[in-house]
Amino acid sequence: MNQESYRMSTSSSASRPDRLTVLAFLADVQTEQVLRDGLGDIVANGMDVRRGTVRTAIQAMAKLPTPEVLIIDISGDDQPLSALGELSDVVEPGVRVLVIGDTDDVDFYRHITRGMGVMEYIFKPITREAVGRHFAPLITRKTVGSDAARGGRVVSLMGARGGVGTTTIAGNLAWYLGVISKRHTVFVESDLHMGSGALLLGGKTGPGLRMALETPDRIDPLFVERAAQPVSERLHVLASEEKLSEPLNYAKGAAQRLIETLRVRYNFVIMDVPFLPMPCNRELLEYSHHRVIVMDPSLASVRDTLRLMGVPNGPWQPQSPTIVLSRQGRPGGLTRKQIEDALKVKIDVVIPDMPKQLNESASFGEPAVTERGPFRQAIIDLGREIGFVGGRDEGGSSPEPTSALGSVANIFKSTKLGGLS
Ligand SMILES: Nc1ncnc2c1ncn2[C@@H]1O[C@H](COP(=O)(O)OP(=O)(O)OP(=O)(O)O)[C@@H](O)[C@H]1O
Ligand SMILES: [Mg+2]
């Protein structure tokens, strides 16, 4: 058997222009959809997806020319190791092999990625985020950069329009991560004048954020420690309440420096960024790992979502933005299908219209995500989209079942086995 051979890189294999970029053998249509969404249009010379197992791949690869990247779905195979070994005999050595499976076992992961030369492994149900993060850089050979991989994850939420529910969603996501899931989380309210996120979370505002954005030389870990106000042990808020008569004097580069410093301290940096064409907002967006666009079911929102989708990805963003439809079912609103037809992409997360519950939670100071129900479920779905794998230490406070998959993903993370992270 020729197990090490996958890894051996031949320079000729990477530079053949006629070569198919990605050939995938996948077991089901759902996995195919997520893979396509996650890779977007980064695949230079095309992607050929066929239905099949690792056995189908072995038969096909005996005849087909080898692509640059081969993606194999080994789920359901009771002897995946020997099948992968067999496969290595029929593909050229330079091919990059990426594997999707259903085994969430850390030893298995270690074995195939170290001992068998498979470059990366993710397990089902796969997410766009996992595909974008772990597979995409190996396909483009553009690593997202070690800078992007070290430290916390930066997520920016931006409303397609004002008033669609962005702050509600961003604040509740931060609460879910920081309070319910106990990850070190900071909520950054980039609207220094009119932001309402601190209010929603019951956090204090202060002068720190403005200072940071105007005089970035002052930003260091101690500064951040003082400026971010605690809401709970692991959820902090960085927000201001500046006089409307005093516009921000933004210093170029401050957003990047602030984000880099926050990432050393927090697992998640959740930013509520209004879409105003200001340098500060533009830079905050640019240095996010993940952008989330929030829209409501209106025609104006559709138009502005299309415009936001056209904003090019920043250097740390391998995948296209997540689209959240807020207030679905609002009387007179567009249907999900109408919106998806107009956008020509799928909506990733849907938040129902629930004025009563959200108004009550705003008045009583407990974010709506603390209560079970469709709103909480949508926030959990959004958490997954942005790369949070829950499970291990949500403890008794978490009513949703803690999955074994989640816990192994956390082991991957804590033992630095999580691919590029
Ligand atoms: N899913 C929802 N169903 C019903 N009402 C909602 C929903 N989400 C938010 N709201 C309500 O809509 C109002 C605006 O919400 P929010 O402040 O989150 O919007 P925003 O997009 O951040 O607005 P702004 O542009 O002013 O920053 C609030 O009163 C909030 O309670
Ligand atoms: Mg807002």
Q: Which atom of ligand 1 is nearest to the CA of 171?
A: 18
Q: Which atom of ligand 1 is nearest to the CA of 294?
A: 21
Domain match, 172 and 214 both = yes
Domain match, 183 and 252 both = yes
Task: Please give the model's pTM, rounded to 2 decimal places.
Answer: 0.70
Q: Is residue 415 part of a domain?
A: no
Q: What CATH number is associated with residue 92?
A: 3.40.50.2300
Domain match, 156 and 135 both = no
Return the higher-pLDDT residue of 326 and 47: 326
Closest residue by CA, ligand 1 atom 10: 165
CA gap 214, 193 in Å, rounded? 15
Q: What was the pLDDT predicted at 253? A: 93
Burial of 311 (0-12, 13-18, 19+ CB in 10 A): middle
The binding-site residues of ligand 1, defined as CB within 6 angstroms of any ligand atom, are: 159, 162-168, 196, 326-327, 351, 353-355, 358-359, 362
Q: Are 409 and 418 in contact (CB under 8 A)?
A: yes
Domain match, 86 and 20 both = yes
Q: Which atom of ligand 1 is nearest to the CA of 355?
A: 4
pLDDT tens for 193-211 read: 888 888 889 899 999 999 9
Q: Is residue 322 part of a domain?
A: yes
Domain match, 136 and 234 both = no
Q: Which residue has the tokens 């921000």?
A: 248
Q: Own/partner pairs for 332-337, CB < 8 Å, 24+ apart?
A: 333/296, 333/297, 333/298, 334/297, 334/298, 334/299, 334/302, 335/297, 336/297
Domain end point (choices 110, 142, 174): 142
Ligand 1 centroid from CA 216, angstroms: 31
Ligand 1 centroid from CA 165, angstroms: 3
Ion ligand 2 neighbours, Cβ < 5 Å: 166-167
> DSSP for 8-56?
---HHHHH-TTS-SEEEEES-HHHHHHHHHHHTT--TT-EEEEE--HHH
Calculate mean pLDDT across residues 72-84. Answer: 91
Q: Are 320 and 313 in contact (CB under 8 A)?
A: yes
Tell me the three state secondary structure of residue 97: strand
Q: Which atom of ligand 1 is nearest to the CA of 170?
A: 18
Domain match, 360 and 260 both = yes
Q: What was the pLDDT predicted at 158? A: 96
Tokens describing residue 160: 């397609």
Q: What was the pLDDT predicted at 150? A: 62
Domain match, 131 and 218 both = no
Which of 116-130, 230-244, 325-339, 394-408 comes out lowest in average pLDDT?
A: 394-408
Domain match, 158 and 41 both = no
Domain match, 112 and 182 both = no
> DSSP for 182-208?
---EEEEE--TTT--HHHHHTPPP-SH
Q: Nearest 5°: phi and psi at 418?
A: -75, 60
The two beta strands, 185-189 and 229-230, are unpaired
Q: What CATH number is associated with residue 160?
A: 3.40.50.300
pLDDT grade, residue 254 (50/70/90)? very high
Closest residue by CA, ligand 1 atom 9: 165
Q: Which residue has the tokens 């790369």?
A: 387
Range of the domain at 157: 148-388
Q: Is residue 418 part of a domain?
A: no
The two beta strands, 47-51 and 22-26, are parallel
